[in-house]
Structure 1
Amino acid sequence: MTDLAASGVTVYSTARSSIRRDEQYHLRRLLEVARWAEEAGYRGALIYSDNTSIDSLMSAQAAIAHTESFVPLVAVQPIDLSPFALARSVSSLAHLYGRRIDVNFVSGGFSRDLAVQGDTASHDERYDRLTEYATIVKKLLTGGMVNFAGEYYNFRRARLTAPVPHDLLPTAYVSGSSPASLQAGEALGVGQLSFPLLPEDFAGPDVRKNKFGSGISVGIIAREDSAEAWRIAHKRFPATPEGADRMKLLLSTAVSSWQPQLAAVPIPDEAPGQTYWLVPFRYHHTFCPYLVGNYDEVAQAVSTYLDGGIRTFVLDIPEEPDDLWHARTAIERAVTARAARQQQSPLSEG
């Protein structure tokens, strides 16, 4: 098994816990995905933050308490808790369990979530607020005293009693694909997570990338046989009129730039030989595109993303543990192929 971390590639899965389930389902499903990710050698899994999910930090604590090395990638929105409260939670988990969490800073979520909390900030204003928020969190986590007078936050002599040990400091990302999100990520010195366009478009020289690193959220259905991969894909994500109507409603209330951008990608639902597949997104099954095919076909798409600077992959929610292993096989093939190319032409690739 290829050591993905040693190759500079980080892979997370995704765990989502909707509150429209019975209470026993939440924990069972969360721990299921956490253990699957740990066994498959992933770094961890993204835990969503929105008003239809269990609190992301409490979910992270539950996952840490029942695993050995799993790292929750916790989505955090400034309107949900103060920067001091987030820093204290990260520090508390580090000191209670000797474990880290990673943080995905999200500027906002769905319009309904913003509305119920009375948040009327514009798209770019939310990224300005996020920059202030994450700046304060980073200073607190490293033990610094924070004196900060900004447009959104004011702190005087704020300090954590127990800063996070250096080896447990979180890896952080800013979520988004707009110029404002890119500016926020680079101002903070952290990588970017976004939903990818077609591999060849995303890796193009005219697409500006965050100089501190880029990652994508994408689903992967890979199998030894391409026909089997597509059979599974069509069974899981049917193209239904009801799904199309739900997506139209979502787009009509979108507050993020990535949703209309992804919806506008000009490819048909079914295109022979096309690995990149938008049906799961277009018909409101999930929030990301998929890569579907045999291992080599998916590996080729992953290789193109790697060539475009992508080093972090956040894979969609798995239905079974084999999903993670099959996806890992394709990613490993891409990483191995890229390493071979670099050895042959060390000056030709970044």
Structure 2
Amino acid sequence: MPIELIGMIGTRKLSELDGPTVSITGGSIDPAYVRQFAQAHENAGFDRVLVGYGSTGPDGLTVASFAAAATDRLKFLIAHRPGFVNPTLFARKAATLDHFTSGRIAVHIITGGSDAEQQRDGDWLDHDTRYRRTDEYLEIVKRVWTSDTPFDYEGEFYRVKDAFSDVKPVQQPHIPLYFGGASGAAVPVGAKHSDVYAMWGEPIAAVKERIAEVKAAAPPGRSPKFSVSLRPILGDTEAKAWERARSILSRIKEIRSGTTGNQPVSARPQAVGSHRLLQFAQESEIHDKRLWTPIAAATGAYGNTTALVGTPEQVAESLVDYYDAGVTTILIRGFDPLADAIAYGRDVIPLVRDEVQRREQQAPVFA
């Protein structure tokens, strides 16, 4: 397909509107909700869903395995932090799940932009060193997936002898690798290893600049694709969409001010991607046609927090603008996760697919 549309599933019915530290990647597990959430995305026409990672949250491989058993077509993008499972073992785990899901998984590599998150799992390496480790980790994982013979590897972080796996991925040459990271240390690693380089929802001009930066860092012969993540806020009319957006912002500010009985939360992220979103928020509340930044500012831009506000037609138009900028994967998730996923499938995804298909059919063919 010329464009891939991804959602995101959590393991219980909560969002940022339920608490200052609530994340879709953490919390308790409601199996019935996971089943319903996955099936809703499949019925809505999403290609894939992200299963997030958090240092206090459920195991993503297990969540994806359960959700895959409840669906037929939906694919899964499993977030994974290198460094806590040996690369040889992770390669076999992922290849095993690839078989049991009939080739429906991909892996999203998130090296980690928060020292506190890393330290909960016992990782005390600094930011740039973590990316050097990720480079080695992915070298080994990909060789385990593809090597027909045992191999040795000796690096700064990993040393293996006669590494080999009897089980190879269903998908060839290997399970797709997505990669997130906005820092100078991240770009060369992601450009080297990723099939899809993921970005948060930045203005179009900034996205074009980042695409050019990654392409310039890619080794000869490599040409990764690109993803952007956004939070659409829909309304039957533009006025109703803005009314809903301001209501969401008001609720988030109320929670974070402590007026609901919770303690205020510090908004000082370490991740470079978060710093970029905060800078865009400082520059303007609205970028391009309808990229709205105040929620990023209110939450400290911890994660995917920039919104597209408007009618389904307006939001679809803005999503296609990212496609025109060079993005071929778009992740969309809402602040009312299940209801919004259903609404996106009904009102937005068909419009985006139709317009992208129209563009593809009109594109010139060169002999």
TM bracket (short chain):
0.7 to 0.9
SS of alignment partner, residue 51 of structure 1: coil
Identical counterparts, % of pairs: 21
Matched residues in 1 for 2:238 and 2:292: separation?
A: 14
Give the letter aligned to residue 229 of structure 1: A
Match of 2:279 in 1: 264
SS of alignment partner, residue 201 of structure 2: coil
Deviation of 1:346 after TM superposition, in Å, equals 2.8
CA distance 1:247–1:147, shift in 2 (3 Å)? farther
Residue 243 (structure 1) aligned with residue 219 (structure 2): no
Per-residue Cα deviation, 1:209-245 (whole angstroms, up to 9, x for no partner): 4441110121112344222323333333425165379
Per-residue Cα deviation, 1:36-86 (whole angstroms, up to 9, x for no partner): 111112122111111221111111111112221222211111122111221
Match of 1:35 in 2: 39
Give the letter aligned to residue 309 of structure 2: V
Matched residues in 2 for 1:19 and 1:200: separation?
A: 30
Give the letter aligned to residue 310 of structure 1: V
1:71–1:101 Cα contact (<8 Å) kept: yes
Residue 314 (structure 1) aligned with residue 331 (structure 2): yes
Match of 1:180 in 2: 185
Matched residues in 2 for 1:93 and 1:168: separation?
A: 16
Match of 2:15 in 1: none
Match of 1:330 in 2: 348
TM-score normalized with structure 2 length: 0.80
SS of alignment partner, residue 309 of structure 1: coil
Give the letter aligned to residue 151 of structure 1: E
1:277–1:291 Cα contact (<8 Å) kept: yes
Matched residues in 2 for 1:98 and 1:146: separation?
A: 27
Match of 1:16 in 2: 10
CA distance 1:203–1:336, shift in 2 (3 Å)? farther
Deviation of 1:174 after TM superposition, in Å, equals 1.0
Matched residues in 2 for 1:156 and 1:205: separation?
A: 38
Residue 230 (structure 1) aligned with residue 242 (structure 2): yes
Match of 2:295 in 1: 280
Deviation of 1:109 after TM superposition, in Å, equals 4.7
Residue 69 (structure 1) aligned with residue 69 (structure 2): no
Deviation of 1:298 after TM superposition, in Å, equals 1.4
Give the letter aligned to residue 287 of structure 1: G
Matched residues in 2 for 1:61 and 1:205: separation?
A: 33
Q: What are structure 2's unaligned runs of at least 5 residues?
A: 12-23, 216-222
Residue 124 (structure 1) aligned with residue 128 (structure 2): yes
CA distance 1:108–1:186, shift in 2 (3 Å)? same
RMSD: 3.2
CA distance 1:229–1:319, shift in 2 (3 Å)? same
Match of 2:220 in 1: none
Match of 2:64 in 1: 60
SS of alignment partner, residue 291 of structure 1: strand
Per-residue Cα deviation, 1:126-173 (whole angstroms, up to 9, x for no partner): 112111111211121234433211111111111112212236942211
Within a 5 Å distance, the mapping from 1:205-220 to structure 2 comes to 208-210=213-215, 211-220=223-232
Per-residue Cα deviation, 1:169-221 (whole angstroms, up to 9, x for no partner): 42211111223222112211522111121134323599534441110121112
Match of 1:153 in 2: 158
Per-residue Cα deviation, 1:104-145 (whole angstroms, up to 9, x for no partner): 011125322212344232322211211111121112123443
- The count of aligned residue pairs is 338
Range moving further from structure 2, 208-217 or 44-53:
208-217
CA distance 1:204–1:149, shift in 2 (3 Å)? closer
Match of 1:191 in 2: 196
Residue 91 (structure 1) aligned with residue 106 (structure 2): no
Match 1:300 to one of 317, 325, 328: 317
CA distance 1:179–1:214, shift in 2 (3 Å)? farther
1:10–1:312 Cα contact (<8 Å) kept: yes
Give the letter aligned to residue 307 of structure 2: Y
Give the letter aligned to residue 220 of structure 1: P
